[in-house]
Every structure is written in structure tokens, then in C-alpha cells.
Chain A
Amino acid sequence: MSAVAEPPGGYFGRALVVDVSDGSSTTMPLPAQVLRSYLGGAGLGTWLMNELCPVQADPLEPDAPLAFVFSPLVGTPLTTSAKFAVVAKSPLTNLLTDALASSHFALAGKFTGHDALVLTGRAETPTVVLVDDTGVGLVDASEQWGMPAAEAEESIRERHGRRWRAASIGPAGERQVRYATISHDGRHAGRGGLGAVMGAKNVKALAVQGGKRVDLPDRSAVLAAAKDLRGRSFGPATAKYRELGTLSNLLAFNAISTLPTRNFQDATFAEAPKLSAEDLAESRSVARASCASCTIGCEHIYASKGGKKMRVEYENVFALGPMCQVSDPDQVLEASARCDDLGVDTISAGGTIAWAMECVERGLLDATWLRFGDGDALLRVLDEIGNRTGVGDLLAEGSRRATEVVEQGSAAFAPHVKGMEMPGYEPRTMQSMALGLAVNARGADHNRSGAYEADLAGGADRVRGTAEHVRAAIETEDRAAIMDSLILCKFLRGVFTDPFEEWADLLSTVTGWDVDGAELHETARRIVLAKRTFNLREGWTRDDDWLPERFLDTPVELGSGRTATLPAERLRAMIDDYYAERGLDAEGRPPLATSRREPTP
């Protein structure tokens, strides 16, 4: 197949599909209409999965595709745009998953001359896939097999040249831990077990380099837009990320009873100050770092007791600290580093371990050493998960599958939705977020919903979900769909006062299209529904849009003494409203034609 003759600005108009069984590849044209309808990143990746993934495929079988998807803004000087999405059917949820990561891989990958690189098949032996602007190569990865991703990346660059940029898996991906990550330069496409999909293909890394550049219809206009956005990125909307990073959520969330603790048995953690960004910044902060093409610099590097330096985010610390009741910062930082080395998603790891700790506490699981509050046990079980030994082999399957083995009512407190473990937002005290977690296509996820924004902004009563919360959750989900497809970093979202119009202007400037905010709203809806369409064909039902029983039958108390409850009938009513507002039927199914309605470029 040949490439599209004249792709829109910012695009090459084609994807490269590589069969890693033999290194053969095909070029898949991406018509302008498809690009305008799904943009790039998570949106285009969803379209690719609907096109390329065999129906009801096992995510770990050779035919299941793994897509690395770029976007029209990648390669422009627009701040935070050097990002890529990895999209596949998730071995954790058996539904669609997409995860974003950033930096030079996005640039080098796009400069191979493609808007997406898709891997299919299974290599016979451990392999590194090399893609540049001249073609595809498969090389032996036995030297890198077993290495942490960061070491593997360095090894590949040493062997093949510094211009290569690699996205790699760690040992957990090789062993198909169902929440293994793919990482590049220390940043993980973390959620949903994409690393296991890559490991199942016997691929240690995808390495890319290229010198192709996309055409832009008005390069000076793009430069002007980039200059403006860069200036705004230094303002108060990003101060939190620049000055302390996402870990500053921890103490604030503790103050408002939204910090999940002891597997969501509590919403506050008495020892939270020990793990706070405010404390760690004073005692352990050593540096700040940025992704390529980013002016925010949200990464705050801390040193552990042994001098090891690591990036620390709120979600790592919440999942490995309060969720497991571990308060020693050295142990939590070490656990976070261990997850990085193994290549596992910290949220799913922490959630699954916290669930196991509660099982032990209740006498349901024979691993008496695995206790809440025991940091040494946390480190041990992480190693067992990464190596699939001992109880770790069970926990490597994620909490949902583990409940099917343990049974005895343990599903009621397994902290997942659709099989994906829950992020660090207590749904009973954040009920816009509760809806977002329940209905999101990816499962319990904060980045594709973003409804916590509404809960934390004030206005509606955050512990009493209403139709207002439903509208807020839809709005944030729509915004996320566009940001994840353009792609722009969500930490930039506060600088946009009229986001859809402003994003439409950026997209128009880069592509030459005449896009407005209304069209982008429709695009957002299309992307959200396309994800749902994929899930529907994979066996999703309305019952999957739900929260674990714990949240529906056990109240939590706020500092004021007020009780936060989320009765099942309230959640059901919110979901009904969500379906109605989204134009879904009563069972949450998209109308057949809706997700395919595409604009004419």
C-alpha cells in the first residue's frame, strides 16, 4: 500500500505495521478523514485497534496488535507535545487500554515518517525491533533480556548508536505480569499491562530513529503559537507541578479525606506528613527534570537513603505508601524504584498488594508475612510479583483475577474497576470522580476521566453525586479525550481559558484544517464512544461500569464529622444520566452509527 499523497500538516498520513515474527512490514494509509476524526495518540490508537485487533483476541496472543501512536503536534515546538500513546487490548482488563509517555521516543518515532508504529506477531527469541526512516530490522535481545528497561535502553543505544531512542520493558513485562509497563527514559506507559503485551511478542524494546520532518502549512504561525503557549506555561496554573510536583497532592488529599489508605479502608493516613512533597522537598530533593519539548518540568527527583535518585509522583507514593500503610519514606521510595526496575505499574501493584494485605489480615490468604505497614514485606512481594514467584505469581495477575482464586468474598474489597486497580482518589468523597472511575473505558483510571477536577474545584457537593456531577464528569472526559489525542500534557490544562476553542486553533494552525471548538467537542465524543465500541465487541456489559462493593456499602467520615456515602442507587442514577447524556442506550451501548460518524476534511 502506498502513503496518502498529500497528508494534512503535522501528519505523514500512514502507519507502519510490523510483524515481529519475521520483520516484514506494511504501510497502512491513514486517510485525512480518519486523522481529522481521531487526531492522534489515544484517539487514533483506538481507531487502529478497532481496525486491526481481531475480535475477542487474547491480548497476549501473537495477532493482538500493539500500537505506538504519535500525533499532529509531535515535532512542533509546542510545549509538552513530545508525547506518544501506546494502545492495545489490555491483558489486565481484556478491554481497550491506552497509556501515554513522553520525550525523545515520540520525536524519533514520528520522524521515521509514520503517525503510528504497530507491532504484531511474536518473535521466536527475545528481540529488539529497530525502525528508522529506511525500514525495519530485528536484532537479538538476549543481551538485554532480564535488564530493567532503563538499562536495556542504554544498552541498545550503546550498541546501535546514540540517535536511537527505545521504549522497553523490564523483567515484569518479559514474564507477562498483567500490569507490566513500557517505559522510555524513565517515563512509563503505565496502565493496563502494555508491557505484558510486548513481552508476549518476545520484544524487549522498540527502538526508533529518523530524519523525516512533517510539513506545516504556516511554520511561522506555529512558532508564534508555541511562543505564546510557552509563556503561559510559566504561569500560576502550572506552579504546583513546577515547584513541588504531583506529590503535593498527598498532604492536601489527606486534609480532605480523599487519600486512600489501607486498601480504601480509610480516607486519611496519620503518617502522611512523612511522605509529603513538602517534607521530601526539604530533605531529599536533588533536581528537577523535564520531558523533551516541555517547559513545565514537573519531575522532581529525590534521593533515597542509599543515594539512589528517582522520580517520584503522587500515584507511586499513594499506592506504595498509604494504601499499604507504609510510612517510611526510604521504603516507599525504594518500592517505587523497584517498580521502575521491574517495569510494573505502581498503581496496580500497590492496589493488588494492599488487597492481598487485607486478605492476610482477614485470614483469607496464606502469606502471613504480608502485613499492612511492613515495608520489608512490600519490597519482598514486589520482587515476587516481578519474578512471578511465591504469592507474587498470583498477584501478578492483578486483583480481579486473584479474587477468583482466593474467593471467600474477597472481590468485595478488591480495588479495581474492569480489572484495573484504582488510582489515589477516594470515590466516596469525590463523587464526580466515582462516576468517572465507574464508566471509563480503560477501567479505574484518573487520566482518562479527570473528573476529580470538578470535585476539587468546589461548587457542587463532592460527597453527594447529582446530575451536575454527571455533566462535570462528561466535560472532563471530553477534555481528556482531546488532550490525549492531540497530544498535550494535562498539566498544561489550567492555562487554557476556553480549551476547546484554543485547542482547535492550535490544531488548525498545525494541520491547515479549519477546526473549531464545536468540532473538537464532537471529536471528543467520537473518541469516547469509539473506545466503548471496541469494549462492547470484546464482551463489555453494563455490569462492568460499576464500583467495588466496599464503596457502596461502607461510609467514610470527613473531618467535619459528616459521613460520605455512595449508595448503589445513587451511582446507578448517575450512570443512567451519563448514558443518556452520552446518547447511549439504557445498557450503555453506543448507537451503531455514532462512533463512525466522521467529518469531511
Chain B
Amino acid sequence: MLDSVGPAVGVVLAGGRSSRMGTAKAMLEWHGSTLLRRVTGVVERAVDGRVIVVRAPDQRLPELASTVSVREDPEEGLGPMQGLAVGLAAAAEHAGTAFVCSTDLPFLHVDFVRAVLRGFERPAVEGGPDVVLPYVGGFRQPMAAGYRTELAPTVEKLLEAGRRRPAHLLEECHVTQLDDATLLADRRLAGVDPDLDSVVNINEPADYRAARDRPAPEVTVERYGVLATRTGERGRRTIRAATVGEALEQMRLTFDGHIVAAVNGDQIGNDPELPLVAGDSVAFLSADAGG
């Protein structure tokens, strides 16, 4: 059996009713992509492995990366605890911990997710926490938190007992809270998300418009090989781009089968919707390797 199990799984809850937004948040346009595509992409980059989307029964979803799997709430309208139960149960097949978040976090940063998951590595309680809970600006953030996947049966029991709020779960768990100062002690995170905008969520059209009006993240890009020498544009450039596709366009390139992109020198691909976050570097390379 080949190893394909990462250290943590990402769970994105997409099944909310979006009643205040008036339209499904998962489908909201985001820099040529969609909000759900962005959030799943950011989480996938951070957890180094599998991402599970939990949707409402028959809910339509935007196109997602082929690596993302989708599970369904058995019943609509029971709130995030229902999605959490489904997501953690699915995640438990692959890992002991999961980062769980909602769909409506357009500024979620890869380094925020990593900082939360690192909370499991520095246990304040014997055996480690059950939940690593960001506590940002004086607010608990259970929809951008880390959970032990073995909590799935506990969540189910709480649902059966009619206790449907995340706070009910937290009462049953060992919780490690990460306040602003603790989170920002992570220099990397402090450098790219100093205001902890990772937990900014959008609930109403005005929130969405305001978020969408913000400039895209600042990233650096560099072309290599003939992509650089043909245009005479060598070296790094700083641009603003929320996706690889936006960066590609600004570099006047297209994914024609002969170009690939590597984000932060890591995964290589040609997915224009791959989300970028502040501080990323993107290398555009010739796909025709060899010699």
C-alpha cells in the first residue's frame, strides 16, 4: 500500500443557507474563480493532502480541483455541527487531525491554517488538545479551527441530543485557544497576514463587495528559460494576483501545454484557478523538460 495519507485533512463546510447573502456563497465569483474554489485551494496547499467539502443535500457546487472530495449532509438545516460531523467522520479515514472552515473566508491564508494545525504539536494538555481554536479580536473562530477527527462520534451524539452549536462541542473538549498575540508570534504569519484577515467572513452582499474591492494579494513572479529571454523580462517582479491565472495574464502568458507554474517552488501545475496568497512566489517554467 502506497503512502498517501497526509498529516492533516482539510474540511470545508459549504452547506450553509447563505440566506443573508441571498445567493450561494460557494458560487460567488472570486477573481475569475469562485469563493469555494479559493478556500479549498488555500486549505489544500496548507494541509499537504486531502480536502473534503461537505455540502447540503443536492447542493450545486462550482468546479473544484480533482483532488477535492465531496460529502453530503444527510439532512439540511442543522447548521455547521451537522457538516462538522460528516466532515470529521470522512477525515478520520485519512488523518488524526483536520482544519475545518466555512466557505466564506476569502482572505484565509495558507500560513494561518498551518499556524492553527501547529497548535496540535504543542499540546497544553496531556495527550494534546481536541480542538485548536483561534480567538481573534476577542471572538472564537470555530469555523476556522483545528479538530481531532476522532471527535466525529461526539458531534453526532450532541446533534442527537439537540445540542447543535459549536459551543456545545467546545464544552466537551480539551481546547487550546490561540489568541492574536499567540498567532502573530508566528513571524511568517505576522508578515503575510498581520491583521489576521484570515478569519474575516462575508455574510451580506455589502461584505462581499467590500471584500472583492480589496486589492489582490501581493506576490512575486518570475519567468524562466525562453519565457524570460524571449521578452527580455528577466528577474523577479512584484504584482497583485489572487490566482495563478491572474499572474499568468499579467505576465502575458497562456497555459498552452508548454508552460507550467510552480508556487513557492513546490507543486507544479497549470491550473489557472489555483489560489495565491500574500507572499507567494510563482515561477513560470517550460513544461518541456529534459536533456
Residue positions of A touching B, CB distance < 8 A: 236-241, 243-249, 251-252, 255-257, 277-278, 281, 298, 313-315, 446, 450, 452-453, 455-459, 461-462, 464-467, 490-491, 494, 558-562, 567, 569-570, 573-574, 577
Q: Is B97 positioned at the interface, with any CB of A under 8 Å from its CB?
A: no
Closest 9 CB pairs of A and B: A246-B291, A559-B265, A458-B269, A248-B225, A560-B264, A560-B266, A458-B268, A252-B224, A456-B289
Contacts of A567 in B (CB 8 A): 3
Shortest beta-carbon distance, A441 to chain B, in Å?
A: 19
Whether the pair A457, B268 counts as a contact (CB closer than 8 A) is yes
Q: Pick from A240, A244, A247, A577 the residue with the most CB of B within 10 Å.
A: A240
Contacts of A239 in B (CB 8 A): 226, 258, 286, 288
Whether the pair B286, A252 counts as a contact (CB closer than 8 A) is yes
Given contacts A257-B265, A458-B270, A559-B265, contact A494 B2 (CB under 8 A): no
Whether the pair B258, A314 counts as a contact (CB closer than 8 A) is no
Whether the pair A244, B229 counts as a contact (CB closer than 8 A) is yes
Residue positions of B touching A, CB distance < 8 A: 1-4, 48, 222, 224-226, 228-230, 234, 256-258, 260, 262-271, 281, 283, 285-291
Of A249, A467, A570, A574, which one neighbours B291 at CB under 8 angstroms? A249
Whether the pair B266, A248 counts as a contact (CB closer than 8 A) is no
Ordered by A's residue number, 16 sampled pairs between the chains whose C-beta atoms are within 8 Å are: A236-B256, A237-B288, A245-B291, A248-B224, A248-B226, A248-B286, A251-B225, A256-B262, A256-B265, A256-B268, A277-B225, A278-B228, A278-B234, A450-B290, A560-B263, A560-B265
Contacts of B229 in A (CB 8 A): 243-244, 278, 281
Given contacts A558-B265, A560-B266, contact A570 B225 (CB under 8 A): no
Whether the pair B2, A466 counts as a contact (CB closer than 8 A) is yes
Whether the pair B225, A278 counts as a contact (CB closer than 8 A) is yes
| Nearest neighbor of B270 in chain A, beta-carbon distance | A458
Shortest beta-carbon distance, A275 to chain B, in Å?
A: 14
Whether the pair A456, B260 counts as a contact (CB closer than 8 A) is yes
Q: How far is the CA of A459 from the CA of B1 in the complex (A)?
A: 20
* A-B residue pair count with CB separations less than 8 angstroms: 126
Q: How far is the CA of A239 from the CA of B256 in the complex (A)?
A: 13
Other A-B pairs, 18, CB within 8 Å; known A313-B291, A490-B290, A560-B265: A237-B288, A238-B288, A241-B291, A243-B229, A243-B230, A244-B226, A246-B291, A247-B291, A255-B285, A256-B262, A278-B234, A446-B290, A457-B287, A458-B268, A491-B291, A494-B288, A559-B266, A561-B264
Given contacts A244-B229, A313-B291, A452-B290, contact A252 B285 (CB under 8 A): yes
Contacts of B257 in A (CB 8 A): 236
Whether the pair B3, A562 counts as a contact (CB closer than 8 A) is no
Whether the pair A570, B286 counts as a contact (CB closer than 8 A) is no
Shortest beta-carbon distance, A386 to chain B, in Å?
A: 24
Q: How far is the CA of A237 from the CA of B226 in the complex (A)?
A: 12
Contacts of A560 in B (CB 8 A): 263-266
Whether the pair A255, B225 counts as a contact (CB closer than 8 A) is no
Whether the pair A562, B289 counts as a contact (CB closer than 8 A) is no
| Nearest neighbor of B111 in chain A, beta-carbon distance | A561
Contacts of A458 in B (CB 8 A): 260, 267-271
Whether the pair B287, A256 counts as a contact (CB closer than 8 A) is no
Whether the pair A456, B268 counts as a contact (CB closer than 8 A) is yes
Shortest beta-carbon distance, B232 to chain A, in Å?
A: 10
Shortest beta-carbon distance, B193 to chain A, in Å?
A: 16
| Nearest neighbor of A245 in chain B, beta-carbon distance | B291
| Nearest neighbor of A570 in chain B, beta-carbon distance | B3
Given contacts A240-B288, A313-B291, A494-B258, contact A455 B268 (CB under 8 A): yes
Q: How far is the CA of A456 from the CA of B260 in the complex (A)?
A: 8
Whether the pair A255, B224 counts as a contact (CB closer than 8 A) is yes
| Nearest neighbor of B258 in chain A, beta-carbon distance | A236
Q: How far is the CA of A558 from the CA of B281 in the complex (A)?
A: 13
Contacts of B267 in A (CB 8 A): 458, 461-462
Given contacts A252-B225, A456-B260, A490-B290, contact A466 B4 (CB under 8 A): yes
| Nearest neighbor of B234 in chain A, beta-carbon distance | A278
Whether the pair B2, A467 counts as a contact (CB closer than 8 A) is yes
Shortest beta-carbon distance, A217 to chain B, in Å?
A: 33
Contacts of B290 in A (CB 8 A): 246, 249, 446, 450, 452-453, 490-491
Q: How far is the CA of A586 from the CA of B3 in the complex (A)?
A: 20
Q: How far is the CA of A375 from the CA of B72 in the complex (A)?
A: 62
Given contacts A237-B258, A562-B266, contact A244 B291 (CB under 8 A): no
Q: How far is the CA of A455 from the CA of B268 in the complex (A)?
A: 8
Contacts of A573 in B (CB 8 A): 1-3
Whether the pair A570, B285 counts as a contact (CB closer than 8 A) is no
Of B2, B234, B289, which one neighbours A574 at CB under 8 angstroms? B2
Q: How far is the CA of A298 from the CA of B288 in the complex (A)?
A: 13
Contacts of B285 in A (CB 8 A): 252, 255-256, 456
Whether the pair B264, A558 counts as a contact (CB closer than 8 A) is yes
Contacts of A462 in B (CB 8 A): 267-268
| Nearest neighbor of B110 in chain A, beta-carbon distance | A560
| Nearest neighbor of A257 in chain B, beta-carbon distance | B265
Contacts of B234 in A (CB 8 A): 278
Of B230, B288, B291, which one neighbours A314 at CB under 8 angstroms? B291
Q: How far is the CA of A247 from the CA of B226 in the complex (A)?
A: 11
Q: How far is the CA of A256 from the CA of B288 in the complex (A)?
A: 15
Q: How far is the CA of A243 from the CA of B258 in the complex (A)?
A: 14
Q: How far is the CA of A79 from the CA of B286 in the complex (A)?
A: 22
Shortest beta-carbon distance, B5 to chain A, in Å?
A: 10
Q: How far is the CA of A570 from the CA of B5 in the complex (A)?
A: 12
Contacts of B228 in A (CB 8 A): 278
Q: How far is the CA of A245 from the CA of B262 in the complex (A)?
A: 21
Q: How far is the CA of A459 from the CA of B67 in the complex (A)?
A: 10
Shortest beta-carbon distance, A268 to chain B, in Å?
A: 8
Contacts of B291 in A (CB 8 A): 241, 245-247, 249, 298, 313-315, 491
| Nearest neighbor of A268 in chain B, beta-carbon distance | B265
Shortest beta-carbon distance, B17 to chain A, in Å?
A: 35
Given contacts A255-B222, A458-B270, A559-B281, contact A249 B289 (CB under 8 A): yes
